[in-house]
Amino acid sequence: MILLGREKPYRREMTSGNLAFAEAMRQINPDVVAAYPITPSTEIPMKFAEFVADGLTDTEFIAVESEHSAITACVGASVSGARVMTASSANGIALMHEIFPIAAMFRAPIVLGLVNRTMGAPLNIHCDHSDSMPERDSGWIQIYCEDAQEVYDTVLLAVRLAEHRDVLTPVFVCQDGFITSHCYEPVEFLSDEIVRNFVGTREPFWPLLDVDVPVSYGSFVMSEDYFEIKRTQLEGMSNVPRVCGELSRELAFVTGREYGAVERCMTDDADYVVVVMSSAAGVAKDVVDSLRGRGVKAGCLRVRMFRPFPYDEVRDVLGDKLGVAVLDRSVSPGGAPPLAAEVRTALYDCPRRVPVASYIFGLGGRDFFPADAEMVFEDLAEGRSGFAGYIGLRDKYARGRRAV
């Protein structure tokens, strides 16, 4: 990318995941933001509303009366041709649920900052993935970020990805509530000019406001056509891996940071690999480093993109391992935890059966410690597979760091 003007191309600041998201929004300068506050994502629309009030954006900021109204206003604005962003968490995401599949079918390229928080009850404001996981079938792209820098970079990427002609699919940019959203860490921001050059302006296809080509969104369709129309939606999702790869390389050209659908940490020659998402990967990678120092062939695979799920990459990384542990930060009562289910699906076609141990951890913001990750690697060395327990759960009859 050619740098014009005299603005410094980069600046480093101590900031949080939420504030990095809001700063990216200011730089992107979306046409419409409709949002309703809910902890821990509140800071995103709060900070952005400040930018709007200070005249730093041209955005139409709609302060609505509920999350349902927020996402509904976003859909209307998006199909009208506007570039649209919003944010929410937990029960706010659940209240938006009815509209998510509509946004996906309308191919409305909305970017939503999803700050992961557990679903009540009991009421709790801290992190797990029980708000975003139920949305995995809503038709939105789901990207899970490990830290604030990745949040910032991913917002920029998400705008281009969502609006790409071959994709036209809304995106959740997920980060762990409080752990990532509220902790301060150094983040490198691009200049406004570089960001605006990268994101450009939206070129909408079939916008509602184009009076020369009048279109209707949301028509009633009977059984003879519904299936065919639904099938058209799936095209966008299937083009994500190719388009996301191209855009990630383009963004990496300015940031120096490239993200794939998965992040491999010492996985090439590893015997045992822990699979995890979001901020807990930091702990797992630290433990991999220390185990390597002791001669244990440990590795960590962080799944960054959950929808579309990178089955091929996961199979390539894990297909030859002696043992794999999958750490889920949510439960599916009566069923397989969501990440474990996907990893097992990816491994089913391997010629050799790879043992997979599945754990639940971190519900309601329960901390995940290095000793927990070490226990998981010890389990793998002992050949553990199947459901392997709840990490850090207090249990009258269990010993150590895990209950079953």
CB-count exposure of residue 341 (10 Å: 0-12, 13-18, 19+): middle
Q: What residue spans of 218-310 are helical by DSSP H?
A: 223-238, 240-255, 280-293
Cβ 116 vs Cβ 128: under 8 Å: yes
**Helix (H, G, I), strand (E, B), or coil: what is residue 119?**
coil
Interface with another protein by CB under 8 A: which range of 215-223, 253-261, 313-321, 365-373? 215-223
Q: Does 205 bind another protein (CB under 8 A)?
A: yes
Contacts for 127 with CB less than 8 Å, ≥ 6 apart? 40, 116, 117, 118, 176, 177, 178, 179, 279, 329, 362, 365
Q: Does 334 bind another protein (CB under 8 A)?
A: no
Find the binder of another protein among 235, 320, 367, 378 (CB under 8 A). Answer: 235
Q: Does 81 bind another protein (CB under 8 A)?
A: no
Find the binder of another protein among 22, 168, 281, 340 (CB under 8 A). Answer: 168
Closer of 233 and 332 to another protein (Cβ):
233
Interface with another protein by CB under 8 A: which range of 134-142, 172-180, 220-228, 272-280? 220-228
CB-count exposure of residue 203 (10 Å: 0-12, 13-18, 19+): exposed
Count CA within 13 A, CB hemisphere, residue 360.
Answer: 19
Q: Does 65 bind another protein (CB under 8 A)?
A: no
Q: Does 210 bind another protein (CB under 8 A)?
A: no
Closer of 12 and 165 to another protein (Cβ):
165
Q: Does 161 bind another protein (CB under 8 A)?
A: no
Task: Give me the phi and psi of 5, to 5 degrees please.
Answer: 75, -170
> What value, to the nearest 5°, has the Cα angle with vertex 167 and ends 162 and 172?
35
The size of the interface with another protein (CB under 8 A), counted in residues, is 25
Find the binder of another protein among 236, 337, 365, 389 (CB under 8 A). Answer: 236
Q: Does 217 bind another protein (CB under 8 A)?
A: yes
Find the binder of another protein among 229, 350, 398, 404 (CB under 8 A). Answer: 229
Q: Does 216 bind another protein (CB under 8 A)?
A: yes
Cβ 311 vs Cβ 345: under 8 Å: yes
**What span, in angstroms and rounded, lies between the C-alpha atoms of 137 and 128?**
18
Q: Does 98 bind another protein (CB under 8 A)?
A: no
Interface with another protein by CB under 8 A: which range of 229-237, 240-248, 339-347, 353-361? 229-237
Closer of 66 and 232 to another protein (Cβ):
232
Tell me which residues touch another protein (CB under 8 A). 79, 105-107, 168, 205-206, 213-219, 221, 224-225, 227-229, 231-233, 235-236
